Structure 1
Amino acid sequence: MLNPPFTFPSIRQDTNRSTWTEETLGRAPYKPFLLLAVLDLMDAGRITENRIVPDEDLTDAFMLYWNAILPDRLRPSIHLPFFYLQTDGFWVLHPLSGKMLPATEPSSWKNVRERYAFASLDEAAFELLQNPLTRATARLELIRRCFVPALEKPLLELAKTQVSAFNYADKLLRETPAAYEKPVEKPVRDQAFRRVIVKVYDHRCALCGIRIISPDSRTVVDAAHIKDWAVSHDDSPTNGLALCKLCHWTFDSGLVGFDDDYRVIVARSITRDGNLPGHIQQFAHRPMILPERECYYPATENLAWHLQRFKL
């Protein structure tokens, strides 16, 4: 017997046309992006029970859509749809144990995590969405209802990339990652590698130690390959470093590296030609900020390759 079709009920959206463009039909896309993210997490096997946890996976899934469709436009405030979807009749908020259910809007994503254990869908809706074909139909209907036709294909491609990236990230996080076998699409690789490296370094720069996560869950660090992917075809955590913007540029420019003992080497050239390297020189001989698990430590052969490449 075929499952009955499912579509999300009508959702309330801000309709300030001076803020929202024709791409989103003049309406705020917060709720559609969050629902698309939930469907992606179901497809990736991240949501198997009727518990939508306000965790890093949900943040990453939401941000993929925001950054692709509305880059650098307003704040990607995921806390707003997580709270306000409860007004649409199929989304229920569940407070943390021992806490009352607040009536006021949360101030940030951090505030959401301080308040709520999870959200859940209407039970009948959740049961229907267990079927992959039903999810695909619900996704397509939601996209067609909330975005211009020109965005249908890009949004469907983003969903495909999202699920593939979650699966590839799982593969990379194994203690003994599988050897490189066949090309993985660059958008999938980039997203998965970033997710893995930021996770294993807990958002902390391996060189300077800075760790900042904004109220809307943006992180200060990038994911950097130690041995260039074009040379190594290696996205494993042992070929990656979490580095802030300045340290990333400094590392990629060969101005700093790490020895076999994970201590910082600073290039002598950094002080030439009137440069004022500021705090960079202070890192010389300091230990790298390493991941918590040793299996994710940078491979010394990769660090040696970087030193040799730049003659450090």
Structure 2
Amino acid sequence: MTRDEILTAFDRIRVWQQGDRRAVHKPLLVLLALGRLLRGESPLVEFAGIEDKLGKLLEEFGPSGSERTRHNPFWHLRTDGVWRLEGPPEITSRPAGATPTITELRRGRVEGGFAEPVRLALAHDPALVAEIARRILNAHFPESIRQDVAAAVGLSPDADNPAAPEQEQRRRDPAFREKVLLAYEYRCCVCGHDLRMGGHAIGLEAAHIKWFQARGPDVVQNGLALCSLHHKIFDLGAFTVLPENHQIVFSRHLMGGDDTKAKLLAHHGAGLIQPQGKECLPHPEFLAWHRAEVFREPARE
């Protein structure tokens, strides 16, 4: 396979899709396998040897409960032409739709890894590995957490490189940030952070409620003005905003010492600092998407 053919194959990996629900199982498995390849680990790995790590990645960066289907990408990725499986024929010869259970993959000691032409090309071209990783990160995760995902799988791609082709087809609105910050009067709508240097807002960002990677629009009703800390933990699912009353709710998974709780969890149950006009309020549809696809359930009482 040529370099372009391999890039195209990874760009076209099919992810499970049902409406607006997120599915990052295959992307996380590919990133995990790329990290293993760069570290010189065995080209094939038993499902049992990778399932805990993949489950933790899904638990941290996927929708709530996605770790329960951690075996699906291990089985289904081979239909995209970049992955192969080895193991008992009574398992590996099944049609794609006959997904083995987690127990069957463990007991059958089924192994998975990149298809041989792909593995050889990646082994001889570390820059290709980095390019694939960048494309996957840009296509499936917001910028605020890309480096966290990369670090978790043992990669360190440059997040500033161009996005994958399908992302390039849909351009971001350069005015989105300014419109959102203006709506919230240049302050974090959670904590009120409004530090400035002259006319420049410092550490203040426009966050998408429904991620751009999930086809969230660049409109004020899909944005929140957040300080860099609250932006990051919002994208990690540490808190969400209730559609019915714009109340801030934190996840039970967010923990820390007394000082951390005093600074962060003090906002639990508080109302969002309102934008200047009702037409700028977060749309319930986008808030519901964040609660379902990003927020780490359960919520604190």
Shared fold by TM > 0.5?
Answer: no
Larger Rg: 1
TM, length-normalised to structure 1? 0.41
Higher relative contact order (CA 8 A, sep 6+): 2
Q: Give TM-score scaled by structure 2 length.
A: 0.43
